[in-house]
Amino acid sequence: MSRHAGVVGSPIAHSMSPVLHRAAYDALGLRDWTFYKDQVGAGDLAAYVARLPDDWVGLAVTMPLKEEALALGSVVGEEAALVGGANTLTRTDDGWRADNTDVHGLQQALQDAGLRPTPSAVVVGSGATARSALLALSRFGVREVCLVVRDRARPGAVALGERLGMAVTTSRYADGPAAWGAPGVVLSTVPSGATPAVDGWALPVGAVVFDVVYAGWPTPWAMHWRVGDVRVTRGDGMLLHQAVQQVRLMTGREAPVEAMSAALAASLGAASPGAASLGSTSPGSAR
């Protein structure tokens, strides 16, 4: 019997989810499975889901629909409930289950980038992805976090950080690096071109700078990093590992990580997820 799944959001043309899920289906021998990509705007997810035939088993959900996806869950996973947003819907006998696999994707990608337990972090942005980042960072022992935002931090991100036992401060882009300290990890959750200037910001040796953007690498923001012994990593590892978890949830099978990684790398023109990291750079070499 055929099965269908897909990814929805707006904009959606750039999504790599079809590449990842179709690679998984091929590797698992799921010949009757198909994966689609549909543009669905804010406020339209419930109507879209209601029209799906019974042979649809799941949806990957991207911005701006993650809060709407959470609201559709008759069952809600623990991480989705904590973060206040879901990026995965899977059909059950009792309706749709809402899960957040972004947390798993971020946690695994940060580990692959070399992040070790650290007490402090900076998160750029305060939206749904930033909330997922806070939960992932809490698992690396982060207890102090600064949310760097253009204007005001969203209350949900501040509340989640505090619920996780973090001391949360906020700072505006205009405040500049002098206000952001010397964290062990800096994680940007905003689109390319929307990040703050970081000229003159010195981070500790071994710090990790993680940019969730994976297309058009290196981003202008990544190129700003000129200090030595800082690893700058793009977000394709997060993309891979959140999709790995989605495949497990939708198919009930162990996801073929290597096949999915190879397919993503081929599409992005990189050797493997994370391979396009700038790595450690000497002063001025990233210019």
Catalytic residues: 66
Task: Say if residue 164 is exposed, middle or buried (CB neighbours under 10 Å; 0-12, 13-18, 19+).
Answer: middle
Closest CA to 107 of 85, 79, 127, 84: 79
CB 20 within 8 A of CB 264: yes
